[in-house]
Structure formats: structure tokens, C-alpha cells
Chains A and B, each alone.
Chain A
Amino acid sequence: MARAGEGDRTAWQALYARHRNRVFAIARRFLGEDAAARDVTQEVFISFFAHARTYRPSASFLAFLRRVTVNRCINARAEAFAARREPGSDEALRQVVDEHPDPERRLEQEQTAAAVHAALAALPPRQRLAVVLSRFEGLSYQEIAAALDCSISSVESLLFRARQALARALSG
């Protein structure tokens, strides 16, 4: 990190190689679209490297990176919403886990995945981020609170409401 702060390109490249998959995974799960997630990943690293000299670590670098990613994701979604573009519904269907070659089973699985994707996409942004960070990134309440810049009780509430909405959507 110290070398990255001094503008060492090799250190930048090493940081990028080490963390890009994690940033991309959060953005991809939140935005539901590869192209948008790729844009967010680039934007996160560009803004970090452009201001690396002024970076003062107050928590772990990973926590900082998560927080920047979360903010960029929310911005990207707001921009997509402003442009009236609903990201990723077709792509999500194409990316269903294809474990069963049996056509009937595969169709059933595709339908389930589509329903899950739709339920997740229908959640408000902060609830969706809380689900992504908890369910897929395996973060604790404290880490999620740091990423979303809110209290632990807010995280509890976000996850509770998200679970209620998901259960309602998927049990109907």
C-alpha cells in the first residue's frame, strides 16, 4: 500500500490483480450485468489510483475498497435508472448454473434462477447490497455496516426486510 501511495505502477498492478475479482463479483451481483460491473470495477480502481497519494488508511484496505465499490454500484444503478435501462435480466437467464444436461431439469432450474434474479433485482438498492455482502461475500454485520456506512442495527433491519421481500416473492 505504501508503494502504491507513492505512485509505484508495479504496486498498482499487483493491487489490481489481487482485488479485481472481488470488486467485480460485488458489482456483478448487485448490477446483474457484466458490462456494468466491468465499468464499475474500472471506475473503482481508476479513482483509487488517481487519488492514491492522498489515501490515509483508517480501516483495512479491503473494507475501504468494498465501501468505494458499494458507492459506485449505487451510482451506476441510479444512472441506469435515470437512463431507464433495466440491467441484466436476459443476461441473468443466460448465466444460470448449467449442472443438469436434462432439458426438463435445466428448464426448471432456469425458471428458478430467473425468479430469484427478479426477486433480488426488485429489492431496494441498500437491501440488495446487504444481501450481496452477507449471502455472497460472507461479511459480518459489522463489515456490512462499514461498507454501507450505517449502524449494525440498520444492517439487521435491512437484512430482515430483504428476507421478508425475498420470501414473499419466491413463495408466491
Chain B
Amino acid sequence: MRCRKARKLLSLRMDECLSTRHAAALELHLAGCAACSLAAEQFDRAWVALAHLAPPGPAPDDWTAIEAGVAARRRPWLPAWLDLDLVPTRATAAALFVGMAIIGGAGGLLIGRALPPTHVEPAETQLVAETLGDLPWNSPASGLEPALYARREAHP
């Protein structure tokens, strides 16, 4: 085992996160490596020395300041009675969506009834008529014209 790997394992051992196999390999390395043994001592000493720092005292009670801070975070341009926190956002959005769908549907129906119905020729008839229009007057295909008009009268 190389020294760099051994020192990484030292850190894991201090946090009790080392597998039995790695722990055994580390012990074997430490037994034969004075530099890593010294590093292990220094790691331990430094970690223990952190206890010399004074524990932080209790947090001061800043509840009033926190309440004021929360109030200040609210949108200042909104009047107080329209505070957004009081409005259920999702329900409002759903209601708006349903309202817009109802208005759109009703408007479409009214417009549909107000306009006169438009007669649309079947696609086949339109195609034949357009083809005939392009043909010369005495073309054999132009003989189809009377049949086409007869069909149009039968199926207005």
C-alpha cells in the first residue's frame, strides 16, 4: 500500500468508515511506515485539538426581527388585504382556466350560429371541375361536364 492511500484510509478510520479488510491492510502499512504512523498521530491530535474551541452559546431570541423580516419579504406593492398568502394559488389558477374555457366555448357556439352556413362541394367534384376548366373546349374529357352538373344537382 502506498503512503497516500494509507493516509486517506487513516481519515476514514477516524470516522469509523473503514472495512475490516482495509483496516487490516492499514495496520500492516502503519507497522512498517514511520511517516504514516506520525501522520496518524498528527491527524488524531489535530482532531482532538478542535475541542479547544469554545462551544457556541445559545442563539439569541430574534423572533420579533424574524417576523418583521418575513413581513418585509411580502410584495410591498400589494394592498395588505390582498396578501397573496391568503389566496390559494392553484385553486385560483384552475378556476381561471375553467372560466376561460367556458367563455371560449360559448363564444364559439354563438359565432357559429350567427354566420350563414357555407356550402362546400365534395373534394371529388371540385377536382373534376378544376380539371375540366383547364382542358380545351372540344376535348373528349369535356363530355363529362353534363354528368358532373347532373351529379351536382342530385347532391347539392
List residues of A whose CB falls within 8 A of some B CB: 7, 9, 13, 16, 20-21, 23-25, 28-29, 34, 37-38, 41-43, 45-47, 49-50, 53, 92, 95-97, 109, 112-113, 115-117, 119-120, 131, 134-136, 141, 156, 159-160, 163-164, 166-171
Contact = CB atoms under 8 A, between A and B. Distances in A.
Contacts of A47: 73
24 contacts: A20-B59, A21-B58, A24-B56, A25-B56, A29-B56, A34-B56, A37-B56, A37-B59, A41-B62, A42-B65, A42-B66, A43-B69, A45-B66, A96-B54, A113-B52, A113-B53, A113-B54, A116-B53, A134-B15, A156-B17, A160-B11, A164-B7, A167-B39, A170-B49
Interface string B78-94: 00000001000000000
A7 B52 contact: no
Interface of B: 7-8, 10-12, 14-15, 17, 39, 42-43, 45-47, 49-50, 52-63, 65-67, 69-70, 73-74, 85
B11 A7 contact: no
B2 to A, nearest CB: 14
Contacts of A46: 66, 69-70, 73
B15 A159 contact: yes
A51 to B, nearest CB: 9
Given A13-B63, A42-B65, A97-B54, 9 more contacts: A16-B63, A34-B56, A37-B59, A156-B11, A163-B46, A164-B7, A164-B43, A168-B42, A171-B42
B45 A141 contact: no
Nearest to A144: B15
B63 A163 contact: no
B11 A135 contact: no
Contacts of A115: 49
A41 B59 contact: yes
B39 to A, nearest CB: 7
A141 B15 contact: yes
Contacts of B67: 9
Contacts of B69: 42-43, 46, 50
A92 B52 CA distance: 11
Contacts of A96: 52, 54
B14 A171 contact: no
B47 A29 contact: no
A135 B66 contact: no
Contacts of A156: 8, 11-12, 17
- Which among B8, B12, B17, B66 has the greatest number of chain A C-beta atoms within 10 A? B66
Contacts of A13: 63
